Each structure stands twice: as structure tokens, then as C-alpha cells.
Amino acid sequence: MRVGLTLLTALAIAAVSAPLAALYLGHDPFLPDLFKRFEAPSALHPLGTDELGRDTLLRLLYGARVSLTVGLIAALAATSIGTAIGLIAAWRGGFWDAVLMRVADGLLALPALPLLVILAALDPAVVGLPRGEATSDMIRIAVLLAAFGWVGVARLVRATALSVLAQDFVRAARAMGVSEVRVLTRHVLPQLAAPIAIATALAVGGAVLAESVLSFLGLGIAPPAPSWGNMLANAQELVFQAPLAAVWPGLAILFTVLGCNLLADGVSRRPVR
Amino acid sequence: MTRLILSRLAQIAITAAILSFCAFLLIALMPGDPIDLAIAGDPRLTSEDAARLRALHGLDQPMMARYFAWAGAVLEGRFGHSRLFAQPVAALLGPALLSSLELLGLALVLAVGIGVSLGALAALRPRAAPLVQALALLAQAMPSFWLGILLIIFFAVHLGWLPAGGDGGWRFLILPVATLCFAHLAAYSRHSAAALTTAMEEPHIRTARAKGAGEHAVIFRHALPNAGVPLLTIAALDAGALVSGALITETIFARPGMGKLIYDAVMGNDFNLALLALLLVAVVTMLATLAADLAQRWLDPRIV
């Protein structure tokens, strides 16, 4: 877990410090400079330049901001929705439990990416967001990923909540006259902290990966806004001129997902208090 | 067993129907009315022509009427025409499905084979366990499209041994199958290591050894089949992820499969083809999950 936390903290710091790095190095990551295409790594450009002469390291750091933001928002939304649905399903039981779990199973049985590809091609102007801006792209992708990500969280939360609700202290609280809402929020929810933390960590990794895939396919964050996925898509076209350009964004995605998985692993191994 | 099959098939039909309805609704919200696109291509078309064409194709009907007309046509087997490829949709779906199944089948067999071997290695040789675990962790975290690009750069561009993409023979299958199976062997290796460790401690293994069975027979005839049942559960859950991975792999390596068909259809604004291809992929995935569950019940009759 410590390795995971270290990795993720390093990435978060790198992402947050992107404008500082831009100031330090003195380049603009959005400004093309066609005289400096495909430069080798040097003191001025630590990772070289890309096909339009923009500094690769800075684009990587700005891409970190985009990818990590989308991943975090999508994961938090998915976790909130999933926790609410899992809790309701476990608490109500019976008909609502069956309906919600049938919906979850249905979503789980479908192949996610073909659906996401079709949904991602939706015109954001339909829901009132401006087309072509990075922010609307980010919101659109976060909503899509949350719409698929809640299922795993919901099943995990429902399983744990069922076992917690059957315990004696809940019965005691109800017998003492505690209202159902208080029972759920003050007694059941704290016990769900561990599964929710694990599910969130895994959801962040999954969301970052999914956003990269969508951007790679051209359906996520559109250039010139940098995202690790669309940097990889560029690199695919340049395998002859700049083979190393494919290494860095992929390595960044790998470290993010690895950090999230290690974190989730570590949390799941901690002894339950 | 029959009840299970029937109820599952009913579930698949209902899910496919709901999916088709939601997708049809969403596609109606997409930009690019087909008549508008035709007008953009031919400036001589007047607005009366446009209205006439709309009435002819039924595009001025309300949404539900259009959906039921489309659903009725699909159920009768009339899949319509693909604007992008200028062919009937039915002619496109068959070969694409076969190509995808080829890729998916090989990748699944290799993923299970290599995954189970690695898991067995971790279970039977405890000193190799940390290495196998690290490999599984890496395989799970690695983005499959990155691996595909790296393989292309190394094997096709740098070394020149293998083709970078396309279709046409077994040499074109090596890199895509390698990419797809690497991403999925983590789950199989981890679960088979755990299951095999548990299976080897069972009393019937001790009995087999006491009766003189060699280590080979003990592992392959007694321990592995018992460890095989959870693997089918994973295979059933993994079916959707495998199909998603196939979409990425086919797009990177330019293989003419279902994944690439959906992607090309979406990028080319041919939503009729995209919708039908999506439905076919969804139904095939759910049928594969059903097959894995049935195989599980066949292997272990104790499961209800």
C-alpha cells in the first residue's frame, strides 16, 4: 500500500505542479514551434519535443492534470452512485434489491467499450454543453464512465451492507428507537469505509485507463488539449519518426493504474478494526 | 439445467431489447440526419425533395413508431444497408464476427493456458511466487493499447520480423493475440495460484499420493480439475472485458473484426451499422457468459 500511495502522491504532485514546470522551463506546451520538431532529450527539453515542436515533458504533466481530473471525478461519481444504490438495495431488500441487482447484472454482462464508443460519439450540444471545449469533453467522459463504473461499487457495498445490517448492534439501535436514517448514516456507513475505499481506488485506476482508451480512439479529449491517451494516438502515427514518443504517456498510465491497484490491495489487506 | 438455459435466454433477449431501444433513442439524438447528409452532398435537392424523402423513409414518424418499424424489420432478418461500406449490413457482420472470434478464441486459450501455468508455477514452487505476482500486477495495470504499440515498434518497425497490422494469415495474428492475452492472464494466474494451493491441501491429494500416484498425475488429474471451476467463473465475468480488449486490438492492428466495424461505423456516422453490430456483439458476449456458466455446472454438478 505504501508503494501505491507514494506513486499516486508523486503523480498528483507532478500534475499540480505542471504550470510551475512550464514557468521553470520557459516553454508553452500549447504553442507549436515547427523548427524544433522531434528534438532529442536535452537540458532544455528533458524528454524532447513532439511532432509540432511542443515540449513532451510539459505535455505529459498537463496531460496528467486532464487524465487524473477526469479519472477522479468519474471515480467519485461512480462511488457515490454505487454506494447509494448498494445501500438502498441492501436496506430495502425484496423487490427493490432484485430490480437494482438485475439492472447491475445487465450492465455488467454487456461489453463496456463498444457501448462507450457509441455513447462517446454523442454530440454534447444535445445536453447543452459547448462543443469542442476540453471541459465539456471531460464532463461528458466522466459522466459516461460513472454510468458504467457504479456497478462494481454497488455490488461490493451491497454485500458488505447486508452483513452489517444483520449484526446485533444494528438491531439494538433500532430497538432503542434510532431512526432508520441515523442507523444507516451513523452505524452502517462507517463500517463500509473499507470496501468503499477499495472500490474507489480501483475505480480511479479503471477510469484513468478508460479515459485513455477513449482519447486514444479519438472519442475522448480532443487535441490540442493534452491527454495521455491522445498523446499515445499521436505516437502511433509516428512510429518511424519518433518511436520513443510512445513510451512516456503509456508509462504514466501504467504507473497511475499500478498505484491505484497497489493502494486498493494494501487497504484490503489491512486488518479490520 | 433446462430452466436455467431458458431463463438465461429470456434475460438475454430482454437485455438486447432494452439495449436496442436505448441505443436507438440515443442515435436519434446524434448529429447527422441521413437526409441532411444527402442534401449536403447534392445541392440540387430542394426542401420539397427532402420532405418527400423523409416521408418515403419514414423519418418523419414519431420515435416509437420508428423504433417498432426498425425492430420488426430486424427480427424478420432485414438488417438494412450500410451507408459507409455501401453493402447490406448482413454481408458485413458475418465475416467480421468470424475474424473477431478467431482473435478472441486464440487469445482466450493462450491467456488461460499461460495464466494457469504461471499460477501453477507460483503454487508449486513458492520461490517463484513473488515473481509471478509481480508479473500479474504488471499485466493487470498495463494499458493494452500501449503494449500493442510497443510491440509494433519493437517487432515490426525495429526488427521487421512481423507485420504491423492487417489480415491474411497466421503471421498477422501473432502480435494482436499476444497483446490481447497479456492483459487478461493476470486474473487467471492469480486465481489458479490460489485455487491450486487450496486444492493441493485437500485430503484426497494426500490419499492419491499415499496410493502411489506420481506427482504429475496428482497435479493434472486430481488438483487441476478441481481448481478449474473458479476459472470458468472468471472466464464468464471476463467475457465483456475480452470483447472490449478485442475492439482496441483490432483498431490498433487494423484487423477487420467486429470491434473495428463498430469503431469505423461510429466514426463514419453510419449509426444503423453501429447499432446492429453492437447488438450482435452484446448478444454474443452474453451467450459466451451463458456457455461458461453451463460448462461450470457440467464440471461441478454440485453447483445449482
From the list B241, B245, B240, B246, the residue with the least C-alpha distance to B290 is B240
Spatial separation of the C-alpha atoms in residues B131 and A98, rounded to whole Å: 42
Which residues in chain A have Cβ-Cβ distances shorter than 8 Å to B158? 243
3-state secondary structure chain B: CHHHHHHHHHHHHHHHHHHHHHHHHHHHCCCCCHHHHHHHHCCCCCHHHHHHHHHHHCCCCCHHHHHHHHHHHHHCCCCCEECCCCEEHHHHHHHHHHHHHHHHHHHHHHHHHHHHHHHHHHHHCHHHHHHHHHHHHHHHHCCHHHHHHHHHHHHHHHCCCCCCCCCCCCHHHHHHHHHHHHHHHHHHHHHHHHHHHHHHCCHHHHHHHHCCCCHHHHHHHHHHHHHHHHHHHHHHHHHHHHHHHHHHHHHHHCCCCHHHHHHHHHHCCCHHHHHHHHHHHHHHHHHHHHHHHHHHHHHCCCCC
Q: Is pLDDT larger for residue A43 or for residue B55? A: B55
- What distance in Å separates residue A227's CA from the closest CA in chain B? 14
- The yes-or-no verdict on residue B201 having pLDDT over 80 is yes
Q: pLDDT tens, B107-149?
A: 999 999 999 889 888 888 888 888 998 999 899 889 999 999 9
The beta-carbon neighbor of A261 closest among B11, B137, B274 is B137
- What distance in Å separates residue B58's CA from the closest CA in chain A? 23
- What distance in Å separates residue A155's CA from the closest CA in chain B? 14
The beta-carbon neighbor of A111 closest among B143, B153, B243 is B243
pLDDT at position A130 is 63
Q: pLDDT tens, B155-187?
A: 888 888 888 888 778 888 899 999 999 988 888
pLDDT at position B38 is 65
**What is the dihedral sign for C-alpha B52, B54, B60, B65?**
positive
Search chain A and give the residue with CA nearest B275.
A118
Search chain A and give the residue with CA nearest B277.
A114
Q: What pTM was estimated for this model as a whole?
A: 0.86
Phi, psi dihedrals of residue A221, rounded to the nearest 5° = -75, 125
**CB contact, 8 Å: A269 with chain B?**
no
Spatial separation of the C-alpha atoms in residues A61 and B70, rounded to whole Å: 48
Which residues in chain A have Cβ-Cβ distances shorter than 8 Å to B248? 113, 213, 216-217
pLDDT at position B114 is 92
- What distance in Å separates residue A58's CA from the closest CA in chain B? 20
The beta-carbon neighbor of B145 closest among A111, A117, A213 is A213
Query: A113, A215, A240, A269: which to substitute to probe chain B, counting the most B Cβ within 10 Å?
Result: A113
Q: Is pLDDT larger for residue B210 or for residue B57? A: B210
- The yes-or-no verdict on residue B62 having pLDDT over 70 is yes
Burial of B207 (0-12, 13-18, 19+ CB in 10 A): exposed
Q: Give the rounded percent of residues in chain B with a pLDDT score beyond 90.
A: 18
pLDDT at position B33 is 67
B143 within 8 A of A212, measured Cβ to Cβ = yes
Position B304 confidence tier, pLDDT thresholds 50, 70, 90? low
Spatial separation of the C-alpha atoms in residues A57 and A52, rounded to whole Å: 14
pLDDT at position A218 is 87
**pLDDT tens digits, chain A, 273 residues: what are they?**
677 777 777 777 777 777 777 777 777 767 777 777 777 777 777 777 777 777 788 888 888 888 888 888 999 999 999 999 998 888 887 888 888 888 888 888 888 888 888 888 776 655 556 666 677 788 888 888 898 889 888 988 898 888 888 888 888 888 888 888 888 888 888 888 888 888 888 899 889 999 999 999 988 887 788 888 888 888 888 877 777 888 888 998 998 898 888 888 888 777 655
DSSP bridge partners of B81: B88
Position B103 confidence tier, pLDDT thresholds 50, 70, 90? very high
Contact A110 B282 (CB under 8 A): yes
DSSP bridge partners of B82: B87
Name which of A93-102, B38-47, B242-251, B288-297 the model is least confident about.
B38-47
Which residues in chain B have Cβ-Cβ distances shorter than 8 Å to A239? 149, 152-153, 157, 164
pLDDT at position A220 is 82
Q: What integer best gives the mean pLDDT of chain B?
A: 85
ipTM above 0.95, yes or no: no
**CB contact, 8 Å: A219 with chain B?**
yes
- What distance in Å separates residue A113's CA from the closest CA in chain B? 5
Tell me the average pLDDT across B202-218: 83
Which residues in chain A have Cβ-Cβ distances shorter than 8 Å to B254? none
Count Cα neighbours of B147 within 13 Å in the Cβ-side half-sphere.
21
Q: pLDDT tens, A175-203?
A: 888 888 888 888 888 888 888 888 888 89
Which residues in chain B have Cβ-Cβ distances shorter than 8 Å to A115? 278, 282
Q: How many CB atoms lie within 10 A of CB B204?
A: 12
B 26-65 → A contacts, CB under 8 A:
26-27, 29-31
